[in-house]
Structure 1
Amino acid sequence: MSIPPILVYIGVLIGFVLTNLILTHIIGPTKHTPVKDMPYESGMDPIGDARQPFDVKFYLVAILFLVFDVELLFLYPWAVSAYTGEGGIPIELRGTVFGIMLVFMATLVIAYVYAWRKGVFKWR
């Protein structure tokens, strides 16, 4: 009876992590001083709390960036495979694939127009 390779991999991974944690704890410096325990912030004493909330606009722009970035992940392979000679999409299917991609692009344009009308791109 053999052990599946994934279990061996997980065992080695856990062993590696535990070994590093234990060795770091044993070998690492243990001398704590107020200066060493103080957070470093550009050589200046920290002022205020570091946990300040972000404006929602940043999250909306980040989500839109991800949506349109993933769009390019789908669009680029389609463009390369659709219009290359050998090994690309067969000529009989190019119209169908083009239609599917037009529906995909139309969905993204609708999403972009919706975000635009909601004022996501306005920095008030």
Structure 2
Amino acid sequence: MMLIMFTMMLSLIISIIMMLMCTIISKTSSKDREKMSPFECGFDPKSSARTPFSIQFFLIAVLFLIFDIEIAIMLPIILTMKISLTKTWIFTIMMFIIILIMGLYHEWNNGVLEWAK
């Protein structure tokens, strides 16, 4: 019984010492405003959330996302080449690429790809 009490007291004392040490150590870094402010992708967290940003940047990011997903869709198509008919496979690939090219042409025609105006 005495051994259990000694172990409990020792663990309590060690945990209290560690908490005190962490509190003392953290006092020095709490004065730095840059370290204490949350990171929000370069935006100042104290300003309004309704500040405008470049819509061109957003459109380029969406375009990148579309072509990134396109790569993820095209990788399994290569594996299906062995089990599908050649004419069906070529027709499917050609339709997929034509749809992507038409989308790229539409964005180019609307001026999305022109960064500076």
Tell me the residue number matched to 2:97.
105
SS of the residue corresponding to residue 34 of structure 2 reads coil
Give the whole-Å Cα distance in 2 for the aligned partners of 1:35 and 1:74: 48
Moved over 4 A (4+): 30-35
Count of residue pairs the alignment pairs up: 85
Give the whole-Å Cα distance in 2 for the aligned partners of 1:60 and 1:34: 40
Give the whole-Å Cα distance in 2 for the aligned partners of 1:34 and 1:65: 39
TM-score by length of 2: 0.57
Q: Does 1:38 align with 2:22?
A: no
Q: Using the TM superposition, give the Cα deviation of residue 54 of structure 1 relative to its aligned residue in structure 2, in angstroms.
A: 2.5
Question: Where in structure 1 are there 5+ consecutive unaligned residues?
Answer: 1-25, 41-48, 83-87
Give the whole-Å Cα distance in 1 for the aligned partners of 2:95 and 2:83: 18
Q: Using the TM superposition, give the Cα deviation of residue 53 of structure 1 relative to its aligned residue in structure 2, in angstroms.
A: 3.8
Q: Using the TM superposition, give the Cα deviation of residue 98 of structure 1 relative to its aligned residue in structure 2, in angstroms.
A: 1.6
Is the radius of gyration larger for structure 1 or structure 2?
Answer: 2
Aligned-residue CA RMSD (Å): 2.9
SS of the residue corresponding to residue 39 of structure 1 reads helix
Give the whole-Å Cα distance in 1 for the aligned partners of 2:54 and 2:89: 40
AA of the residue aligned to 1:122: E
The percent of aligned pairs where both chains have the same amino acid is 29
Q: Using the TM superposition, give the Cα deviation of residue 58 of structure 1 relative to its aligned residue in structure 2, in angstroms.
A: 0.7
Give the whole-Å Cα distance in 2 for the aligned partners of 1:55 and 1:67: 19
Give the whole-Å Cα distance in 1 for the aligned partners of 2:32 and 2:111: 45
Q: Does 1:115 align with 2:110?
A: no
Q: Using the TM superposition, give the Cα deviation of residue 76 of structure 1 relative to its aligned residue in structure 2, in angstroms.
A: 2.4
Q: Using the TM superposition, give the Cα deviation of residue 105 of structure 1 relative to its aligned residue in structure 2, in angstroms.
A: 1.1
